[in-house]
Amino acid sequence: MTDTATRPIADAPPRTTGARGGVAARLASGPLPWLLPAVAMLGLFYLYPVIEAVRLAFTDARLFDTETAFSMRSVSSLAGSSTLGTILRNTLSYTVASVVGQIALGLAIALLVVRAERARLRGTLVLRTIVLAAWVIPAIANGIIWQLLFSEAPFGAINSALRMAGVAPVAWLSDPGNAMLSAVIATIWQGTAYSMILLYAALKTIDTALYEAAAIDAARPWERFWFITLPHLRPALLVNAILILIMTLNMFDTILALTGGGPGRATEILSLYAYGTVFQNFELGRGAALSMLLLVISLTLTALLTLLLPQERR
């Protein structure tokens, strides 16, 4: 302590006292100690499993076999697989339809809520809460709910309603052509809440004076949307698209509960296929390779969307 007293006093109050604090202070001023906890957590629970999955993809591991050998068979078997082609087509149509549907519907509801709030209408909070309620339901329960709704048995709610309206019942889940549509509807119904909240928050940040200026400039509704709302929402829409894309690509519990991937392979998407490969066929190596494929697809699409994000707001 005595040597600190003889040192000239710095203009900033000293953060540490004594020589002992020197190393700790130097460390604390660098980024490493602050990053370490996060790096450790991510490494342990995210990075390690990914590396392990990569390793497994290059083995012939089976779920209940302890003996494994390195092999290219898991990976190479995917190359010529016609099943995988079907799965990828399913994944593409399911993902595109769900993502577009969730963003469009979420945006529509968010615009509606903001508009209602500006008009000082009652009930906007109730509406927001109802929409959010869908998001609170676990995906697997969502699948079961929609299975009951779509059910072609006499108690199926949608078909009952159609019958009452004098419309012929629809084979929602048993017709391979309709099953994918049903899966997309169930996914959109649940995921819309997420888009809605994200876009609602973004809409709330838009200065209302801009809309007033546009009103005085005699802008029509589409012009207000095109020149004010949409440019402001661009970053939020892209972030929303990235998040929903990842969630939808990884979605499997709703479909598992709704159709189980059927009829046939009509609604089997990549994540469900990987699940089946591991837990029904016990082909751990092949399942790991499929997971890698899913990871690569997710990363590529995310990277592409990220490129569209404005680097800095001007």
- Check if the beta carbon of residue 236 is closer than 8 Å to that of residue 202: yes
Distance from the Cα of residue 88 to its chain's centroid: 18
Binding site for other proteins (CB under 8 A): 207, 209-210, 212-219, 223, 227-228, 231-232, 313-314
The span from the CA of 294 to the CA of 281, in Å, is 19
| Token duo for residue 129 | 């809460």
CB of 225 to other proteins, least distance (A): 13
CB of 107 to other proteins, least distance (A): 18
CB of 144 to other proteins, least distance (A): 45
When the beta carbons of 121 and 213 are compared against other proteins, the nearer one is 213
When the beta carbons of 164 and 218 are compared against other proteins, the nearer one is 218
CB of 223 to other proteins, least distance (A): 7
- 3-class SS at 70? strand
CB of 215 to other proteins, least distance (A): 4
When the beta carbons of 18 and 231 are compared against other proteins, the nearer one is 231
When the beta carbons of 39 and 309 are compared against other proteins, the nearer one is 309
- 3-class SS at 199? helix
The residues facing 28 across adjacent strands are: none
Give residue 119's identity as a one-letter amino acid code. Answer: A
The span from the CA of 13 to the CA of 131, in Å, is 52
When the beta carbons of 235 and 262 are compared against other proteins, the nearer one is 235
The span from the CA of 37 to the CA of 43, in Å, is 10
When the beta carbons of 155 and 222 are compared against other proteins, the nearer one is 222
* Burial of 82 (C-beta count, 10 Å sphere; 0-12/13-18/19+): exposed
CB of 222 to other proteins, least distance (A): 12
Give residue 117's identity as a one-letter amino acid code. Answer: E
The span from the CA of 111 to the CA of 106, in Å, is 9
